[in-house]
Amino acid sequence: MSCLLRTARLCARWLFASAAAPCRRASRFNVPPSAEFVARPVGICSMLRLPIQTSAEGLDAAFVGVPLDVGTSNRPGARFGPQQIRAESVMVRRYNASTGAAPFDSLLVADVGDVNVNLYNLPDSCCRIRQSYQKIVASACVPLTLGGDHTITYPILQAVAEKHGPVGLVHVDAHTDTSDTALGEKIYHGTPFRRCVDEGLLDCSRVVQIGIRGSSYTPDPYKYCRDQGFRVVPAEDCWMKSLVPLMGEVRQQMGDGPVYISFDIDGLDPAYAPGTGTPEIAGLTPSQAFEIIRGCKGLNIVGCDLVEVAPIYDVSGNTALLGANLLFEMLCVLPGVKTM
């Protein structure tokens, strides 16, 4: 280990310990420092200002960055999503005041850094992602992923299904991402769930896609999904209403089996989340996004991702801020999280 890296780690541990000490009792968990005692811009940039580890060993849950965007079909830039989400996550505090969830009193959580992707070779990147997540899930750690374009969900689910078997899927998106090919390629951000079906990674009777909308290349763009047994909930069915009743139905559909949450930020209306590569108007609201994620409480969640944040299209940082909060909400509904 280089002297510079060793010094940085020691400084990070000292900062974390000294920052957290004034505001909490001794705990076996990692507790983010409070802005009452440590200024938000202080310290190494990590998700929720948690400690940074090089391995998921010993963790109950881990935040993982996958800075890949070479699978995009329109505007690139999601490779910078993990950095910006981490930067904006300084606004997220320790407890969920709305639900009472206390994730940092319940689970040992850390930021395990980024997968070392290959920006010049998408198949090789998928291989690297799969291998990284095989190690994470083998350690009984639940990964919460900061994307990155939606291609990354395919190799992540390869690793997750290798451990848990075919999983149920709660997929929030403007697009179904079930195309077969584009420009002759079978792997890009429009195909991950088609490839997952091909490989038997999904329990198709337990797949729901929420917020789907936009123009299409065919008269019946959702036929493939429905033929597989997916439940498709178009955005029009979500307008001007609470999604709490929908999520009651989703919980029944998912049952006790393993469930993965994949949230594309373009599922939200671009009025709220303009920083993404393939925006579609008339989408979900942030409050509906909260209802969806909070509605997953009680499910056997084995992994989550938040993808397609491209900060260069939103100088305000609001899209990344939304992403950070949605990831916090996902952490709050993981199995084992207590309420206060």
Categorize the per-residue pLDDT at 25 as very low, low, confident or very high, splitting at 50, 70 and 90: low
pLDDT of amino acid 27: 79
Portion of the chain with pLDDT greater than 70, in percent: 92
pLDDT of 122-160, one tens digit each?
999 999 999 999 999 999 999 999 999 999 999 999 999
pLDDT of 257-313, one tens digit each?
999 999 999 999 999 999 999 999 999 999 999 999 999 999 999 999 999 999 999
* Contact by Cβ (8 Å): 90, 49: yes
**Cβ burial 320-332 (10 Å sphere, 16+ → b, else e):** bbbbbbbbbbbbb
Report whether pLDDT(24) > 60.
Answer: no
Hey, what are 88's tokens? 């904006």
CATH of domain 59-333: 3.40.800.10
Whole-number mean pLDDT of the chain?
Answer: 94
* Contact by Cβ (8 Å): 268, 284: yes
Query: pTM (2 decimals)?
Result: 0.92
Label each residue of 267-306 as H, E or C: HECCCCCCCCCCCCCCCECHHHHHHHHHCCCCCEEEEEEE
Dist CA 13 CA 6 (whole Å): 11
Categorize the per-residue pLDDT at 87 as very low, low, confident or very high, splitting at 50, 70 and 90: very high
Query: Annotated binding residue at 150?
Result: yes
Nearest alpha-carbon partner for 70 in 113, 125, 114, 116: 125
Query: Annotated binding residue at 173?
Result: yes
Amino acid letter, 157: L
Nearest alpha-carbon partner for 210 in 266, 153, 274, 256: 266
How many beta carbons lie within 10 A of that of residue 252, not counting itself?
8
Report whether pLDDT(318) > 90.
Answer: yes
* Contact by Cβ (8 Å): 338, 102: yes
Query: Annotated binding residue at 189?
Result: no
Dist CA 11 CA 25 (whole Å): 21
Categorize the per-residue pLDDT at 12 as very low, low, confident or very high, splitting at 50, 70 and 90: very low
Query: Annotated binding residue at 264?
Result: yes
Report whether pLDDT(18) > 50.
Answer: no
Backbone phi, then psi, for 250, in 5-degree steps?
-65, -40
Query: Annotated binding residue at 227?
Result: no
Maximal C-alpha separation, the chain: 61
Report whether pLDDT(23) > 90.
Answer: no
> Higher-confidence residue: 21 or 79?
79
> Higher-confidence residue: 8 or 186?
186
What residue ranges do the domains of the chain occupy? 59-333
pLDDT of amino acid 331: 98
pLDDT of amino acid 120: 98
Q: Mean pLDDT, to the nearest integer, of 30-52?
A: 96
